[in-house]
Structure 1
Amino acid sequence: GRVICAQDRQHRQVAIKLMKIDSKEYRILRVLSKEPLLFSAESFGCVIPPIDFLEMGEHCFVVMPRWGDSATWPWFSTVREALDYMRSLLKGLCFLHERLIAHRDIKLSNILMNHIGRFEQIHKNPFRKQLRHEGRALYALLDFDCAVMFPRTSTPAERRLPGRESFIFGGNYSYDTAQGELDYDPFAYDVAALGQLFCENFQQLAPITHFLAPFIDRMMTRDIAKRYTAAQALLVFDDFCSRLSPWQLDTAPPPIDDRCDPENHETWARLPEDFVQQWSSHREPKLPLSTKVLRWICMQPLGYRVVQWARRICAVFTARPSLKAYGRSV
Structure 2
Amino acid sequence: MEKGGVEGAELYWRANYHWFLDRGYQLRPRYSPDWIPSWTGTSKYFEDCEDGIYLRRTQICDAVHVPTGALVVLKRTDKTFYPREAAIMQYLSSEPLASDPRNHCPRLMDVFEPPVYKGHTTQILFMPLLRPFHSPTFDTVGEGIDCFRQLFEGLQFLHEHHIAHRDLNINNFMMEWTNMFPEGFHPQADRRKKDMSGPAPFFTRTQRPTRYIIIDFGMSTQYNPGNLSPREKSLIGGDKTVPEFLKGEEYHDPYKTDIYYVGNLIRTEFMQGHPIITDIPGYKGFDFMKPLIDDMVQDDPSKRPSMDEVVQRFEELVQGLTQWKLGAWAAPRRKYFFRRMRIPIDIASHWKRKMIYILRKIPAIPTAGA
Question: What TM-score do the two structures reach when normalised by structure 2?
Answer: 0.60
1:75 corresponds to 2:131: no
1:102 corresponds to 2:168: no
1:1-330 equivalences under 5 Å are 1-8=58-65, 9-20=67-78, 23-39=83-99, 43-55=101-113, 59-69=122-132, 71-115=133-177, 117-118=185-186, 119=189, 121=191, 125-129=200-204, 132-156=205-229, 159-162=230-233, 165-168=234-237, 170-171=238-239, 173-203=241-271, 208-257=285-334
Tell me which moved more, 186-195 or 113-122: 113-122
- In 2, Cα distance between equivalents of 1:246 and 1:252: 12
- In 1, Cα distance between equivalents of 2:164 and 2:130: 22
Contact kept in structure 2, 1:39 and 1:49, CA below 8 Å: no
Distance verdict in 2 for CA 1:251–1:32, change over 3 Å: same
Contact kept in structure 2, 1:107 and 1:172, CA below 8 Å: no
SS state at 2:243 partner: coil
Shift of 1:166: 3.0
SS state at 1:211 partner: helix
| Percent sequence identity over aligned pairs | 26
Contact kept in structure 2, 1:19 and 1:60, CA below 8 Å: yes
Shift of 1:135: 4.9
Contact kept in structure 2, 1:16 and 1:61, CA below 8 Å: yes
Tell me, which stretches of 5 or more residues in structure 1 are unaligned?
259-330
Tell me, which stretches of 5 or more residues in structure 2 are unaligned?
1-57, 116-120, 178-183, 193-197, 273-281, 336-370
Encode CA deviations 1:108-166: one digit per residue, 9 max, x unaligned.
1111111153436269654242xx1235211111011221221224352xx1112xx33
- In 1, Cα distance between equivalents of 2:284 and 2:69: 45
Contact kept in structure 1, 2:60 and 2:75, CA below 8 Å: yes
Distance verdict in 2 for CA 1:53–1:207, change over 3 Å: closer
- In 2, Cα distance between equivalents of 1:154 and 1:2: 34
Partner amino acid for 2:288?
F
- In 2, Cα distance between equivalents of 1:137 and 1:106: 20
- In 2, Cα distance between equivalents of 1:229 and 1:124: 42
Shift of 1:226: 2.5
- In 2, Cα distance between equivalents of 1:207 and 1:68: 24
Shift of 1:239: 2.0
SS state at 2:329 partner: coil
- In 1, Cα distance between equivalents of 2:190 and 2:124: 29
Partner amino acid for 2:300?
D
Shift of 1:27: 1.9
Encode CA deviations 1:160-201: one digit per residue, 9 max, x unaligned.
112xx3323x43542122112121111101111211111112
Distance verdict in 2 for CA 1:125–1:173, change over 3 Å: farther
- In 1, Cα distance between equivalents of 2:332 and 2:305: 27
Distance verdict in 2 for CA 1:11–1:79, change over 3 Å: same
SS state at 1:75 partner: coil
Tell me which moved more, 72-81 or 249-258: 249-258
Q: Considering only aligned residues, what root-mean-square deviation do their CA atoms show, in Å?
A: 2.8
Encode CA deviations 1:236-259: one digit per residue, 9 max, x unaligned.
11221122101100011121449x
- In 2, Cα distance between equivalents of 1:88 and 1:167: 25
More helix by share: 1
Encode CA deviations 1:258-288: one digit per residue, 9 max, x unaligned.
9xxxxxxxxxxxxxxxxxxxxxxxxxxxxxx
Distance verdict in 2 for CA 1:10–1:82, change over 3 Å: same
Partner amino acid for 2:316?
D
Tell me which moved more, 119-128 or 211-220: 119-128
- Greater relative CO, 1 or 2 (CA 8 Å, sep 6+): 1
Question: What TM-score do the two structures reach when normalised by structure 1?
Answer: 0.67
